[in-house]
Amino acid sequence: MAHVIEAAPTGRSKCRGCGQAIAAKELRFGEKRPNPFGEGEATNWFHAECGAYKRPAPFLETLAITTEQISDRERLEAEAKIGVSHERLARLNGAERSPSGRAACRHCHNNIDKGAWRISLVFYEEGIFQPAGFLHVSCVAEYFGTNDLLPRIARFSPALGDEDLREIAKELAS
């Protein structure tokens, strides 16, 4: 079962990492796994960047052997390596303002204030990403072991504007 990095032949595949469509000709990462419903194998598709963030180990394996031309190879490789050395990073699924004060932070177990920025998490299990709770922005450095998170947050929260990202960056830095 060889994973693959290739230009998407059509625009029909959907990225498991961010949930958005992968445009035709866009670079995609395909992670092969045993077919859960029978014989053969299934493929989970990701935008190349989403694969580097959410499946860093198989992404790096594939990057090492692919013959595909990848324009931002160095950046993707660097991000995936950060993900391999900080395993929890692959759980990062974006940022949002907390719609209520009811969710507790997975790290400190205190509630996250309504309206405060929170980081959402997913756990990867048997080919599927499951929602796995939230973190205070002030807790992410301890939880992930790094606060170099902004590219991932921007990637998985495409609705956030520059002003939002600046606010989150400021909280991450403090």
Binding footprint of Zn ion on the chain (CB under 5 A)? 15, 17-18, 47, 50, 105, 107-108, 136, 139
Contact status, residue 118 vs residue 134, Cβ threshold 8 Å: yes
Closest-CA residue to 56 (of 78, 24, 25, 28): 78
By beta-carbon proximity to Zn ion, the closer residue of 38 and 145 is 145
Contact status, residue 137 vs residue 171, Cβ threshold 8 Å: yes
What's the start-to-end Cα distance of the chain, in Å?
44
Q: Give me the least distance between CB of 19 and Zn ion, in Å please.
A: 7
109 C-beta neighbours (distance < 10 Å), count: 8
Q: Give me the least distance between CB of 97 and Zn ion, in Å please.
A: 16
By beta-carbon proximity to Zn ion, the closer residue of 8 and 139 is 139
Q: Give me the least distance between CB of 38 and Zn ion, in Å please.
A: 27
By beta-carbon proximity to Zn ion, the closer residue of 18 and 82 is 18
